[in-house]
Amino acid sequence: MTSPAQQLTIVMAQMTQMVGDLAANADAMRAVRARHGQADLILYPELQLIGYPPEDLVLKPALAERAAKLLADLAAETADGGPAMLVGSVEWEAGSLYNIVALLDGGRIVAKRRKHELPNYGTFDEKRIFAPGPLPDVVAWRGVKLGLPICEDGWLPTVCRHLAGQGAELLISVNGSPYEIDKDERRLTQVFAARVAETALPVIFLNRIGGQDEIVFDGCSFVLNGDGTTSHRLTDWEAEERVTHWTRRAGGWRCEPGAIAEWEAHPADIYSAMILSLRDYVERNRFPGVVLGLSGGIDSAICAAIAADALGPDKVWCVMLPSRFTGQASLDDAAGCAAMIGCRLDTIPIAPAVDAFDIMLSDSFADRNVDTTEENVQSRIRGVTLMALSNKFGPMLLTTGNKSEMSVGYATIYGDMAGGYNPLKDAYKMTVFALAKWRNETIPRLSRNPVTPVMPDTIITKPPSAELRPDQKDEDSLPPYADLDRMLHMLVEEEASVDDVVAKYGFERDAVARIERLLAIAEYKRRQAPPGVKLSTRNFGRDRRYPITHGFRTG
C-alpha cells in the first residue's frame, strides 16, 4: 500500500477561457501541464473545459458529448506519470445536467464531484440549467483526503462543514467568480476566511481572468492556511501559474509562503475591468477595432482612452460629428484628446443631413414647435453615420453613455445608444469623472497605450452638455450629477424608496420622485442598449431585471 504523501506541489492555473471553444480550452490546459511536469496536481478554474458562464449553450447535447470525450482524452494523457489535473466540466445523467470537477490521474478519471449549491441571484442563473449534486464526499488521492467545493459550495458554510466532518485535510475551491467593486477583499477576508475559521482547514481559492460578454473575471486567487494566514495572493487581472508547496505537519497540511500580490484599489480596478472586458469582447468577436463618436465631452473621451488602452491606438477610430450647436471648444477638445491618445480622428459635419430631415419633415411638423424631437434627430443622424462607417470598414461601434444617463433615459434610442458595446454602462457619472482624472495622471498596468495625459483638462472641468440646442447643459434637465448619483445609488443599488432617499440626504421629495419615475419609464430603452461590463452588484441587464410595463412607485 502506498504511504500517504508528505509533500505536495500544487499549481494554481489562473487563466482565461473561451466559452464553447472546448478544443482551445483543452489545449490551453495541456500547455499549462506541459510547463509543470514536476508538479503533483494542477488546478483549473470552474467549468474551464467548456467556459463559464455557458448559459443556454450548455443545453445543446453535442456540447456535453464533446466535453465528455475531451475529458476522457485529458484523463488518458495523465498516464504519462506527470501531474494530476482537476478539471471543471459538465455531465448529463438521467436527464439532468451537472456542473462538475473531475480529478484526472494515472490515465483515468479518479473521481468526479458535482456542485451542490447553485447560485441563482444577480449574474448567476444556474438553477435554470444545472441540477444540484448531493453533498459531496471527500476524494482520497495519494493518501490525502481532498474536499472539492465548487465555487458557491465554498461561499456558503454547509458543504465545507460537511467535508470537514468527513475528514477532509485540504479544501480546493475552483471558481468562476466575476468582478464586482470590492469583491476581491470580500472573497478573502470574509467568505473564505470564514470557511477556514469554521473548519480549521487550509483553502485554495482559484479564480479565472478575462471578459465574457457583460462580465469580467479578475483572478485574485489565494491560499489560506488552516490558521487563517495568507500564504499566496495571485495577481489580479493577469494570467498566472502559481506553484505552491505543501507539507504535511502534525497539525495538518500547510502551504509554504509565497508572493503576496497587491491588488488594485479604486479606481484602477474599475479601469482594468473596462480594459479587459472590452479587449476580450472585441478580439474574440473578431472585430478589427472600434469606431466611436468623439464629441469633446468626458464620456466619449474616457471611452476613447479605454479603447486605446485595450486595443492600441491604431485600432481606435474617432469621429467628430459637429452640428451648428457644437462649440469651438468641443472641436478643440476632441482634437486635443485624439492627439494625446494617438488615434485617428475624422470630422463629418451632420448639418447636410439635419437640413435634409428638416425638409423631409417640414409638412408633418408644420403645426408643431421645435422640441426634443429635433434634438433626437441629430443624435440619430450621428448614430446612422457611425453605423455606416462600422458596416463599411468593419470596426465595432462603441457607445459611450454612462449609468447615470441610462438610469433616467437621458440618451437617444437608435442615436447615441447605437453600438455594439459600452464600457461605461455600469459606471455612474461621478465615477466617470474619477476615472478621467486618474487616467490623466496614471498609465494603467494593462494598457497597450502607455501615454498620459489622455485628454485636455478642459474636458474634465467644463459643464457636461449634449450640445443639441443653444447653450444646453445637462443640469437643465437633471439634478447636479453628484446629487443624481446619490439618488440613483440608493434607488438602484439599494432598492430604496423615495422616502429613504429623502431621509438620508434631505433632497426635495418631488425631485427624488421625478428621478424614480424617470428610472422606471426608461426601462424600455435599457432593454435595447448594447452590453457593457458589469462593475456593481446591480448592473442593468444581468442583475436588475425589471418589467417594462408596471405601475408601482414609492414616491
DSSP reduced 3-state for 180: coil
Q: How many C-beta atoms lie closer than 10 Å to residue 7's C-beta?
A: 11
Q: How many C-beta atoms lie closer than 10 Å to residue 509's C-beta?
A: 12
pLDDT in tens, 4-14: 889 999 999 99
3-class DSSP string for 355-424: HHHHHHHCCCCCCCCCCHHHHHHHHHHHHHHHHHHHHHHCCEEECCCCHHHHHHCCCCCCCCCCCCECCC
Nearest to 228 by CA among 247, 203, 259, 264: 203
Any residues with CB less than 8 A from the CB of 25 and at least 6 apart, and which? 17, 18, 48, 49, 50, 51
Are 283 and 42 within 8 A, CB to CB?
no
Give the single-character DSSP code of 246.
Answer: E
C-alpha span between 12 and 466 (Å, rounded):
48
CA distances for 131 relative to 77, 161, 164, 515, angstroms: 29, 21, 24, 41
pLDDT in tens, 231-256: 999 999 999 999 999 999 988 999 99
The active-site residue, picked from 46, 117, 214, 516, is: 46
pLDDT band at 121 (very low <50, low <70, confident <90, very high): confident
C-alpha span between 234 and 12 (Å, rounded):
9
Question: Which pLDDT score, from 0 to 100, does residue 545 have?
Answer: 83
Beta bridge partners of 91: 98
Are 115 and 89 within 8 A, CB to CB?
no
The active-site residue, picked from 112, 117, 126, 151, is: 151
Question: Which pLDDT score, from 0 to 100, does residue 428 have?
Answer: 97
DSSP reduced 3-state for 204: strand
Are 212 and 52 within 8 A, CB to CB?
yes
Are 412 and 317 within 8 A, CB to CB?
no
Report the pLDDT averaged over residues 429-445: 97
DSSP reduced 3-state for 290: strand
For 243, how many CA atoms within 13 A lie in the half-sphere containing its CB?
10
CA 336 to chain centre: 30
Are 216 and 532 within 8 A, CB to CB?
no
C-alpha span between 237 and 278 (Å, rounded):
13
DSSP reduced 3-state for 502: helix
Bridge pairing between strands 316-320 and 344-347: parallel
CATH label, 7-253, candidates 2.60.40.650, 1.10.150.120, 3.60.110.10, 1.10.510.10: 3.60.110.10
Residues of the chain with CATH 3.60.110.10: 7-253
C-alpha span between 100 and 489 (Å, rounded):
37
Give the single-character DSSP code of 328.
Answer: H
Cα angle 125, 129, 132 (rounded to 5 degrees) comes to 90
Q: What is the mean pLDDT of the chain?
A: 95
Question: Which pLDDT score, from 0 to 100, does residue 503 have?
Answer: 97
Beta bridge partners of 252: 249
> Is 255 noted as a catalytic residue in this protein?
no
Question: Which pLDDT score, from 0 to 100, does residue 467 have?
Answer: 65
CA distances for 130 relative to 59, 113, 148, 231, 262, angstroms: 9, 14, 18, 34, 36
| Percentage of the chain lying above the pLDDT 70 cut | 99
Bridge pairing between strands 209-212 and 144-147: unpaired
Are 313 and 449 within 8 A, CB to CB?
yes
Residues of the chain with CATH 3.40.50.620: 268-475
Beta bridge partners of 224: 203, 230
C-alpha span between 336 and 406 (Å, rounded):
27
Are 369 and 393 within 8 A, CB to CB?
no
Are 236 and 263 within 8 A, CB to CB?
yes
Sheet holding 144-147, edge to edge: 139-141, 144-147, 170-174, 203-206, 222-224, 230-233
Bridge pairing between strands 203-206 and 222-224: antiparallel
E strands, 235-287, where? 240-249, 252-255
pLDDT band at 555 (very low <50, low <70, confident <90, very high): confident
pLDDT band at 2 (very low <50, low <70, confident <90, very high): low
C-alpha span between 233 and 236 (Å, rounded):
9
C-alpha span between 130 and 97 (Å, rounded):
5
C-alpha span between 168 and 161 (Å, rounded):
10
pLDDT in tens, 267-288: 999 999 999 999 999 999 999 9
> Is 318 noted as a catalytic residue in this protein?
no
Any residues with CB less than 8 A from the CB of 547 and at least 6 apart, and which? 523
Q: Looking at domain 268-475, what is its CATH homologous superfamily?
A: HUPs (3.40.50.620)
Residue 74 host element (H or E): helix 61-77
Report the pLDDT averaged over residues 21-26: 97
Which segments of 141-242 does DSSP mark as H helices, in order? 152-155, 157-165, 183-186, 193-199
Kindly report which listed range (79-83, 213-217, 417-421, 534-538) carries the lowest average pLDDT score.
Answer: 534-538
The active-site residue, picked from 115, 315, 429, 525, is: 115
Nearest to 192 by CA among 206, 183, 175, 205: 205
pLDDT in tens, 283-316: 999 999 999 999 999 999 999 999 999 999 999 9
Phi and psi angles of residue 539, each rounded to the nearest 5 degrees, phi first = -80, 155
Read off the pTM.
0.95
DSSP reduced 3-state for 540: strand
pLDDT in tens, 350-384: 999 999 999 999 999 999 999 999 999 999 999 99
DSSP reduced 3-state for 488: helix
Q: At what angle do helices 268-284 and 298-311 cross, to 10 degrees?
A: 60
pLDDT in tens, 387-406: 999 999 999 999 999 999 99
> Is 46 noted as a catalytic residue in this protein?
yes
C-alpha span between 520 and 73 (Å, rounded):
52
